[in-house]
Structure 1
Amino acid sequence: MTRLLILLLLFASSFHGRTQPTDNLPSQLTLAATDWCPFSCSPSGSPQRPGIISEYLSQILKQHNITLNIKFLPWSRALVEANNGTVDGLLTVVPEETGHLLMPKTATANYTDCFFVRPDENWRYRDSASLKQVKIAYVQDYGYNEPLHSHIHDPGNAARLFEVSGADPSRRMVRLVQAGRADALIEEQLVAAWAQKQATKKLYQPTQLKPAGCLNSNPFYLAISPDLPASKALIQLFDRVLQQPESLKLLEKITQSYIAD
C-alpha cells in the first residue's frame, strides 16, 4: 500500500509539472515598444496612462510575480534590439515583423488599420487596385495586412508611397497629408481616434482628416527573444493565461477605460 501511494504521488508530481510549465520564470521582463497610443503610450506622451496593452500585460505578469518594464524606441530600432537580444522581446508585434523571435499561439488583441485623407479628398479604399490611385504615407518596418503589404513591397509602386520613420511617425504622416505631400495615410483606428481626441483636449490644431476605408482586422501578439533562458516557459505561460476568460474580461475593461477617456 505504501509503495502504491508513493507511485501515485510521483505520477501526480510529474503530471503537475507538465501542465504548469512556469518554473524558473524571470522576476522582470523588458519588452521594447513604440509610442502607439492607446495600445502603448510613452511616458513623454501620456505619463498618466501607459496604454491598454502595457496595463494589461503588466497586470497579468504581476499575478506571476513578474515586473514588466517597457523600453520605448522608434519601431525599426525596437525590432533590431529585440532580435539581437538587447531587450527580452516586443510588447506588440504581428507575424511579419517577428524575425527569429518567439510568439505565443494566443494573440494579445486585435487591431484594424484604416486610411485617412483630407476632407476634400474623394478617394476611398476598396481593393488593391484603388491603392494605385493615391500616394500613401506609411511607417517603415510596420507589418501591414494585405493587400497593402504586397503594395508596399512592390518596387513598381515606389512613386506612390511615402515611408516615415523615427519618433512620432503618426504626427508626421498627418502633416504629410495635410501638406498634400501624401494623399492618404494608414493608421490603426483606435490610434487615430486617440490622437484626434488628445489634440482636441490640448487645443492643438485638429487634424481634420476623415476615414477612407479600412483593411481587415487582424490579431497582434507579443514576442520573446529565444536567447532568454526562460523564453519557452514564458511562451507557455502566455498561451495559457491570455486565453482565460478572466484575462479577456480584464482586456475589455481596460480598453473601455481608454475609449471613454
Structure 2
Amino acid sequence: MKKILLVLVFLVCHSAFAEYNSVSIAWDYNCPWMCNTPSKPGFLFELVTEIYRLSNIKIQFQKNSWPLAKLEVQEGRVLGLLSPSKEEAVGFYFPKKHLAKRHMCFFANKNLNWSYTDERSLANIKLGVSYRNSHNELNKYIENSRENIKKVKFLNVEDIYETGFSNLKSNQFDVLLVDHSAGDYFLKKTNQEHEFKKVGCLELEKIYLAFSPKFQNKSIYLAGLLDKNIEILKKNKFFEILKKKYSIDEFNFEE
C-alpha cells in the first residue's frame, strides 16, 4: 500500500512539474526589446528566459502581430504576452514586478522647429502613430482624433519603424511617436540617425509579462515566480550586462 501511495505521489508531482516545464509566450517584433536574431534575440527575450531558467522552466517564444499575439493569449492558446502595459491587456494576470519601462518619444525631420510640451502643443501638428501601441497620457487625445486625418495618421503595419520613418521623411505627417529605444536602434542600424531628431517624450510607462485570463492557477503561479526571480537578478549584474549589450542605458528598471 505504501509503495502504491509513493508511486501516486511521484506521478502527481511529476505531472505538476511537467505542466510548467515549458511555457509559451507570444511576442511582436520591437528590437532591441524583442528581436529576431540568434546573437541578439532581444533584451526582454533574454531577461524572461533567464527569469524562468532559474526555476527550470523553458520558454517557447511565438512571434505574431500584436493583435494576434494578444488574442492568442486572451483565448488561452498561448500562456504569456510580451510586453504590454496594464492598460493594453485589461483582464490579464500581471506580476507585481514590471520588466522594464517604455519611453514613447516624438521623432521629427531635423529641420522641424517644434517640440512637445503637453497636449496643447499638438494643436498644429499631425502625428504618425501605430495602431498597436499604447500612447500613455495621449491615448484619449489620439482616440478622439481617430477620424481627423489632419491630426493623426494610423500606421497599420508590422514594422512601424521602417514604414514610419519613411513616411516621416516624405512629410506624410510632422512627427512620429514610437518607442525611444527601438526608434534609436532602427535609425542607427539604417544609418539615418543624423536625418531625424527627438523632439520630446511622454512619461515613462511600465511594461510587463502578462498571463492568460483563461488559466488562473498557472498564471498566478508563473507571475509569482517572475516576482521572486527578478529580485535575484537585480542582486547580480545581469541587468547591467543586458543594458550594455542592447545599449539601453537612459533609465533604470527599478520602481
**With structure 2 as the length reference, what TM-score do the two structures score?**
0.83
Change in CA separation of 1:177 and 1:90 when aligned onto 2, cut-off 3 Å: same
Residue 153 of structure 1 corresponds to 143
Q: 100, 122, 131: which is aligned to 1:131?
A: 122
Matched, 1:36 2:36: no
Instruction: Report deviation, 1:257.
Output: 1.2
Runs of 4+ in structure 1 over 6 Å off:
none
Supply the distance in 2 between the matched residues of 1:130 and 1:243 (Cα, whole angstroms).
Answer: 40
Match of residue 185, structure 2, among 190, 194, 213: 194
Q: Tell me which residue corresponds to 1:162.
A: 153
1:71 alignment partner in structure 2: 62
- From 103, 117, 120, the equivalent of 2:94 is 103
> Measured at CA, do residues 257 and 89 of structure 1 come closer, stay the same or move farther in structure 2, by a change above 3 Å?
same
Preserved CA contact (<8 Å) 1:107 1:220: yes
For residue 78 of structure 1, report the CA deviation from its aligned partner. 1.5
- Are 2:206 and 1:219 aligned? yes
Residues 60 and 156 (structure 1 numbering): CA distance in 2 closer, same or farther, change over 3 Å? closer
**1:105-147: CA deviations, max 9, x gaps?**
111111211100011111211111012321111111311110x
Compared with structure 1, are the counterparts of its residues 157 and 248 closer, same or farther at alpha carbon in structure 2 (3 Å cutoff)? farther
Residues 132 and 157 in structure 1, CA contact (< 8 A), matched pair in contact too: no
User: 8 Å contact 2:92–2:213 — kept in the other structure?
Assistant: yes
- Classify the secondary structure of the residue corresponding to 1:242: helix
Return the alpha-carbon distance in structure 2 between the equivalents of residues 248 and 38 of structure 1.
Answer: 22
Unpaired runs of 5+ residues, structure 1, are 1-22
SS of corresponding position for 1:65: coil
SS, match of residue 230 in structure 1:
helix
3-state SS of 2:227 partner? helix
Rate the CA distance shift 1:223–1:134 in 2: closer, same or farther, 3 A: same
1:254 aligns with 2:237: no
Alignment correspondent of 1:16 = none
- CA change 1:145–1:171 in 2 (3 A) is same
Q: Quote the offset at 1:157 in angstroms.
A: 6.7
Superposed displacement of residue 63, structure 1: 1.5
2:8 corresponds to which residue? none
Residue 225 of structure 1 and its aligned partner are, at CA, apart by 0.6
* Counterpart AA for 2:142: I
CA distance in 2, matches of 1:247, 1:195: 31
Q: Of 211, 231, 234, which aligns to 1:243?
A: 231
Question: Number of residue pairs matched?
Answer: 230
Taking a change above 3 Å as real, the CA distance of residues 179 and 165 of structure 1, as seen in their structure-2 partners, is same
State the partner residue of 1:10: none
* Aligned CA distance change for structure 1 residues 182 and 84 (closer, same or farther; 3 Å): same
State percent identity of aligned pairs.
26
Tell me which residue corresponds to 2:169: 178
Q: What SS does the aligned partner of 1:153 have?
A: helix
Alignment CA distance shift 1:247-1:97 (3 Å) = farther
Q: Deviations over 1:31-59 (max 9, x none)?
A: 111111101102xxx34210001001101
Q: TM-score, normalised by structure 1?
A: 0.81
Contact 2:52 2:225 in 1 (8 A): no
CA contact (8 A) 1:116 1:210 kept: yes
In 2, are the aligned partners of 1:117 and 1:209 still within 8 Å (CA)? yes
CA distance in 1 between partners of 2:147 and 2:140 (Å): 10
> In the alignment, what sits opposite 1:7?
none
CA contact (8 A) 1:117 1:210 kept: yes
CA distance in 1, matches of 2:42, 2:31: 6
Matching residue of 2:47: 56
